[in-house]
Chains A and B, each alone.
Chain A
Amino acid sequence: GAGVSQSPSNKVTEKGKDVELRCDPISGHTALYWYRQSLGQGLEFLIYFQGNSAPDKSGLPSDRFSAERTGGSVSTLTIQRTQQEDSAVYLCASSFSSAAYEQYFGPGTRLTVT
C-alpha cells in the first residue's frame, strides 16, 4: 500500500511569508508525528497527534508554528512569518496506534527561507 507522503517536496519562501506543509499518513494509522531536522542535526520532535487531537505540542518552537489534523488523516503544519532559522527538513511520520509501534516516515519537505 501507499506510504506516508508529504507535499511539497521543496519549498523556498521569503522571510516573513506563511507556509503550509502537508502530510498524508498511511491509511488506518491513528498516530501522526511531525519532526524537524536541521542541517547536520538529529530529529527535533514538534508535535504528536492521536486521531485529530494533539496530546503533545511541547516541541513547537514558538507560537508561529501550528498544526492540525482533520478526519484522522491529513495533517498540515503551518509556519507563520517565517524566519531564516526555520529552514530545515520537516519530516512527518505515522504509526499504527501509539509510540509503542514503529513509525513510518515520509520523504520530508525541505524548507528554505531566504
Chain B
Amino acid sequence: AQSVTQLDSHVSVSEGTPVLLRCNYSSSYSPSLFWYVQHPNKGLQLLLKYTSAATLVKGINGFEAEFKKSETSFHLTKPSAHMSDAAEYFCAFSGGYQKVTFGTGTKLQVIP
C-alpha cells in the first residue's frame, strides 16, 4: 500500500533561517510527489512537483525539494524563511493514476 508520512506536525524557525519540512513515502510504484501550501482559510496551492525528471525540484517562493529514492524521501527546504511562509504544508504522493494520498500536514511558524 502506498503512504506518505510527514515527520513533524509543527516546525518553528526564526525569520531568515533555513526551513526543512520532512516527508517520506512508501510505494512500489514510481511516484509522483507534490508539496502544497495552505494559508489560513484558503485552499491548497501547489508549491512544486516531482515526476521522474530532475531529482532536485525548484518551486515557487524560493522553495525546493530533493527526491531521494534510496531514502524514500522528498523533503522541502528553503534557505531563508520569510514571515509570509507561515502556513501549513502538505506532502502528497501518487503511485498510480487514480488517487493522491496527502500527508497529515506540517504547520510552519516563523518567528520574527
Residues of A within 8 A of B (CB): 4, 33, 35, 41-43, 45, 48, 50, 55-56, 91, 93, 98-108
Q: Could you write out 18 A-B pairs with CB less than 8 Å apart?
A: A4-B43, A45-B99, A45-B102, A48-B98, A55-B98, A56-B98, A98-B97, A99-B32, A99-B94, A99-B99, A101-B32, A102-B46, A103-B46, A103-B92, A105-B36, A105-B45, A107-B43, A108-B43
Bound-state CA distance A67–B92 (Å) is 23
Given contacts A42-B103, A100-B51, A102-B34, contact A50 B46 (CB under 8 A): no
Residues of B contacting A35 with CB < 8 Å?
A: 102
| Shortest Cβ distance from residue B104 to the other chain A in the assembled complex, whole angstroms | 4
B98 / chain A contacts, CB cutoff of 8 Å: 48, 50, 55-56, 98-99
Interface flag for B96 (CB, 8 Å): yes
A99 and chain B: residue at smallest CB distance: B94
- Are B42 and A107 within 8 A (Cβ)? yes
- Asked if B43 contacts A105 (CB within 8 A), the reply is yes
With a cutoff of 8 Å between Cβ atoms, the chain A residues found around residue B11 in the complex are: none
Interface string of B89-110 (1 = CB under 8 A from A): 0101010111111111100000
Residue of A nearest to B100 (CB): A99
Q: In the complex, which residues of chain B have a beta carbon less than 8 angstroms from the beta carbon of A100? A: 32, 51, 94, 97
Interface residues on chain B, size class: 20 to 34
Closest-by-CB residue of B relative to A110 is: B41
Contact B105 A42, beta carbon cutoff 8 Å: yes
Bound-state Cα–Cα, A65 to B94, Å:
25
* Docked-complex contact A42 and B102, CB < 8 angstroms: yes
Contact B43 A106 (CB under 8 A): yes
CB closest residue in chain A, given B105: A42
- Measured between beta carbons, the chain B residues less than 8 angstroms from A106 are 43
Which residues from A are CB-within-8-Å of B102?
A: 35, 42-43, 45
Whether, in the assembled complex, B44 has its beta carbon less than 8 Å from a beta carbon of chain A, the answer is yes
